[in-house]
Structure 1
């Protein structure tokens, strides 16, 4: 009987756990829909801003220099100081979501003592603290509720680090939604703006068939970039926060769905085991009853025979 009780208790335990995983699945589904709407509403602004920024760079004067475009090529690679903004979740139970982005950040940071680490999300903070990695900054209450104001706070700090030459490069490590059903960890260099400051953006090196519109940069190109670059970096960080938020809940939905499927399979297997054990116990009891009845019948037959033998 103890074995049957243990199986029944385990089935109840799996069912109680599945109540939690089902609830987490529904919560993540709701949050994912909200995050996707937020991402969809911000993407037009960000892509328009990026397109406008590319157009501005194409019309900058020849030989123009700006602090945010300074590649600092005079500094050797081994002496360059880098800042990494690693975006993780505040909670686990999201499959490989956190592990993938943390692994990418670790692989790029290496053992450089000049690297500076800034973390969004409690999982990333605990991960690096347990490995005795010093954190230069952490942004609380951001991973679960990305907003433009929090993204602006982060971007201002990253811009200040680069502008004051405390770091030579700024990277953001986040999880990008590749499509509606797939996400990938990604590392993007924010500063200097090398992803936009390419050779093709110089007017003298544009393709022959490119239409070069008339552009007037007022009051000056420097003041224009002083205003537009912070907005661009802020938009990129906000987009990374929202995409990471989408990927987190998509990964959690996948993990909870897999847990529910495994739980149902485990309940089926335990139910079969329970029924077999119960049937074996019933069969054993029937066999014992039948054997007892047969023994009793044989005993009564022997007693009756003895009485007959004793009669005169």
Structure 2
């Protein structure tokens, strides 16, 4: 049995660790609320862009545009993957799940290029000899619309210059506080079926809508903003998922620490009781010897 001093030292160490896990839980909760508020504040703008795209496609179903070009004549399509991971660990299986999901989705692609957001994913793919864009150094912390715009502009430029034929983003969707699901979205080329709905139910209003100078020109302006909105949404969703996973992990760690402290306290009391019993036995034995 360990000495009482060793047990006291271990209990003290666990209590200090438990204070850290509690603090990390609170910090993750605060970041989660902030990110959710940012997304809700900007969501109406991007929803309006999507609504306008649906309206254009509904009125011009036969429209041809570079952002809808599937490049069927290309034999080996170059696929770009934006994989969103965390910058650090201590968030359960969050990083492991998204990395394995990305690998499974990429396995059928002959030519694939990685654009990794987050240090954890970047380190993993580098060590496993994936073709990573080493200049794509974006952090997963505190996502902003400005950062989403930078990323969107880089990806769209690569698509326009035929450096990439398909672009996907792999992220983690937060369906609930306990359910985090890895998902993949195809950014480019766009699918007209994704905009099959009608934006405004008032058909009389739709009949007089015109786009100047042309629907194709308007699409050239709207689609980059739509891509930016999608990226921003996935960045925030992944960040929220990371904080939720960290909250769960830290809460579990705190509960485990409490249980361990209970066990060690019981062990300490037993050791203390054994020491007291031994002391009493020694005193009684000494008294008997003096008789």
TM-score, normalization by structure 2: 0.91
- 1:33: how far off? 1.2
> Which runs of 5 or more residues in structure 1 are unaligned?
204-208, 298-312
1:234 to 201, 207, 228: 228
- 1:75: how far off? 3.2
1:129 to 107, 126, 130: 126
CA distance in 2, matches of 1:242, 1:72: 31
In the alignment, structure 1 residue 147 sits paired with structure 2 residue 162: no
CA RMSD after TM alignment: 2.3
1:119 to 90, 108, 116: 116
- 1:180: how far off? 5.0
For 1:78-89, list aligned pairs within 5 A.
Answer: 79-89=76-86
In the alignment, structure 1 residue 198 sits paired with structure 2 residue 197: no
In the alignment, structure 1 residue 65 sits paired with structure 2 residue 69: no
Partner of 1:10: 10
In the alignment, structure 1 residue 256 sits paired with structure 2 residue 255: no
Partner of 2:216: 222
- 1:47: how far off? 2.2
Is the alpha carbon distance of 1:37 and 1:87 closer, same or farther for their aligned partners in structure 2, counting shifts above 3 Å?
same
Q: What is the CA deviation profile of residues 136-191 of structure 1, one whole-angstrom value per residue up to 9, with x for unaligned ones?
A: 24544531121111111100111111111112110001111213553211111111
- Structure of greater Rg: 1
- 1:292: how far off? 2.4
- 1:112: how far off? 4.4
In the alignment, structure 1 residue 172 sits paired with structure 2 residue 169: yes
Q: Secondary structure at the match of 1:115?
A: strand
CA distance in 2, matches of 1:262, 1:226: 54
Q: Secondary structure at the match of 2:140?
A: coil
- 1:210: how far off? 10
CA contact (8 A) 2:114 2:132 kept: yes
Is the alpha carbon distance of 1:83 and 1:242 closer, same or farther for their aligned partners in structure 2, counting shifts above 3 Å?
same
TM-score, normalization by structure 1: 0.85
Partner of 1:26: 26
Partner of 1:51: 51
2:288 to 290, 294, 312: 294
- 1:111: how far off? 7.0
